[in-house]
Amino acid sequence: MQKENLVSGMRSTGKLHLGHYMGVITNWVKLQEDYNCFYFVADWHALTTKFDKTETLKQDKIDVVLDWLACGIDPDKSTIYFQSKVLQIAELHLLLSMITPNNWVERDPTLKDMVKILKNKDDDTSSNMPQMSYGLLGYPVLMSADIMAVNGAVVPVGNDQLAHLEITRDIARRFNNIYNTQLFNEPKPKLTEIPLLCGIDGQKMGKSFHNDIKISDTEEDTSKKIMQCITDRSRARKNDPGHPEQCEVAFKYYTVFADKNTVKQVECECREGKRGCMDCKKQLGKIINEKFAPIRDKRKELEADTDRVYDIISEGSKKAASEAEKVLQKVREAVNI
Ligand code: TRP
Ligand code: SF4
């Protein structure tokens, strides 16, 4: 049986962190076995909010791919590309924008959240200039074009992307209705069940919150960051009995990164006051560093040969473009353009 097409993208935010690794990338790596995967860097989407901060864009894009490859996204199994190298996506975005009612995108809750965040960042309160640009309003339409350009059947996303994907399904259905065709299927979301990994301060892990540990961090930096993690605050002395369930970050990380026996041992020793938080976090740093050592080695190897990485992306982009061209030929025909 032919494998279904699976599509997913990440905005070009630069070096990825352990939250990306646990929540998204390990999942993507597994999915490669069961689907025909299209993984791309959404650099146009990055412009919807960062159109005026493009100095680091080129580096950010390659950093994302370096992390993917180091973690096991395999160019022999998956198609890896830059969104902006597949011009058919832009053409499809334009055609889809013609059939998308404004209120479909205007009521997209994820988009509303993005605008709220943007507004909070904007200090110039005297300005009436709404932070919603024409391009940002089209965010879900562009995402639809990403998916539909390669006729994606399955889209692995987090909860926050479901609203966008619902619009994609609506757009696909509407296209089929208007142009009396069966060209598009309605892509199904595939939710990741892994809970989000918090940052070292216990809040959501994110680059802009300065609470993340990068996949590509050095062992030293990783250890330092782990030592900053908050632990059970009720504990004053090393021999006080601790409460792992109140150890919001360090113990949580143990449950994510350590094997079951180690977790059990930490839990017991903590409760019995036989384990100091400093030592406990030292050990945690070591465990995390050991886990990421092979990935970090691989990344260094790739960094030393970025020509090869650009070749991979260029090959992938060509492949994605040729898939998309097939779809677009049918689209143009259906639209009579
Ligand atoms: N909006 C997604 C995010 O921020 C990234 C993305 C862009 C995407 N296009 C996509 C995800 C198409 C899945 C399919 O995470
Ligand atoms: Fe957390 Fe470990 Fe300290 Fe217990 S000993 S509170 S698990 S850091």
Q: What's the pLDDT at 121?
A: 65
Q: What's the pLDDT at 246?
A: 92
* Per-residue pLDDT tens over the stretch 272-289: 999 999 999 999 999 999
**Residue of 227, 228, 235, 265 to test ligand 2 pocket, by largest number of atoms within 8 Å of CB:** 235
Residue 222 CA to ligand 1 centre (angstroms): 28
Q: What's the pLDDT at 212?
A: 96
Residue 247 CA to ligand 2 centre (angstroms): 6
Q: What's the pLDDT at 175?
A: 98
Average pLDDT over residues 223-231: 94
Q: Is 181 exposed, middle or buried (0-12, 13-18, 19+ CB in 10 A)?
A: middle
Task: Name the nearest CA neighbour of 299 among 63, 36, 26, 39.
Answer: 63
Which residue has its alpha carbon closest to ligand 1 atom 9? Answer: 143
Average pLDDT over residues 89-118: 93
Q: What's the pLDDT at 207?
A: 87
* Per-residue pLDDT tens over the stretch 20-56: 999 899 999 999 999 999 999 999 999 998 898 899 9
Which residue has its alpha carbon closest to ligand 2 atom 6? Answer: 232
pTM: 0.94
Angle, CA 253 vertex, CA 250 and CA 255 arms, to 5°: 115
Q: How confident is the model at residue 122 (pLDDT cuts 50, 70, 90)?
A: low
Q: What's the pLDDT at 214?
A: 98
Average pLDDT over residues 99-113: 93
Enter the tokens of residue 297. Answer: 């080695």
Ligand 1 atom at minimal distance to the Cα of residue 143:
9
Q: How confident is the model at residue 234 (pLDDT cuts 50, 70, 90)?
A: confident
Q: What's the pLDDT at 30?
A: 97
Residue 164 CA to ligand 1 centre (angstroms): 9
Q: Does any ligand 2 atom lie closer than 6 A to the CB of residue 267? A: no
Sheet holding 188-191, edge to edge: 79-82, 36-42, 5-11, 154-157, 188-191
* Per-residue pLDDT tens over the stretch 145-204: 999 999 999 999 988 899 999 999 999 999 999 999 999 999 999 987 777 899 999 999
Residue with tokens 């993005």: 114
